[in-house]
A = this chain, B = another copy of it.
Amino acid sequence: MMAMRRPSSSVPYHHGNLRNALLAAARDVLEERGPSALSLREIARRVGVSAPSAYHHFPSLDAIAVGLAEQGAAEMGACLTAASEDRRRSSGDGKSLLRTGEAYVRFARANPALYRLMFGEGFQPASKGNDAVRDLRQRARAMIETALAGRLPAAELPVAGLFLWSVAHGLALLIIDGQAEPAKDADAVVLRVLQLGGRALARRRR
């Protein structure tokens, strides 16, 4: 009945790979019931384990939130990088920024509470001082500014970058929060809004 011993990342013996199970449950709670429902007892309950057992893996509830933010930063970073590198595969390189913007909004829509944990709600304690989240933010800024570097004078880059980030951030949150129109054809609307953002930065023809 028992599987053979496998290297190290195997189905666990003692009780489980509790650390990861706790993070996964925490993420479920976060997305289902929001950040204020993120409680250690609720997380443990979902995993089917007693609450104190979590202390063998995290020093506190806050540390679990930090873990979520780090996980989110890694995932979102991968999505953005993949999207921005997509230009090499497909047509021209002018679309790279637009694709990255779409990926940004797509990630936020797919993981609304996690996105808010990293980038919203008063810039949560869990994210505020976190290196992974700070890196993600800087990386996103850098992607934007690099993509724009060819088209704009250097002096305009910071404001232009903030502008594009505002469009993506604002759009993502309005959709996530259901404040924008109901989501029919949402992808098309996102695309058109982001295209308008790009148009603001288009080189003036005269």
Contact = CB atoms under 8 A, between A and B. Distances in A.
A206 interface: yes
Contact of A179 (B137, B167, B173): B137
Contacts of A113: 122
Interface in A164-200: 165-171, 173-174, 176-181, 189, 192-193, 196-197, 199-200
B193 A159 contact: yes
A26 to B, nearest CB: 17
Interface residues of A, number: 41
A93 to B, nearest CB: 21
Contact of A36 (B36, B116, B159, B200): B36
Interface string A96-136: 00000000000000001100100111110000000000000
A185 to B, nearest CB: 11
Interface in A122-155: 122-123, 137
Given A189-B159, A206-B206, A177 B36 contact: no
Contact of A173 (B170, B197, B201): B170
A177 B122 contact: yes
B120 A173 contact: yes
A159 B175 CA distance: 13
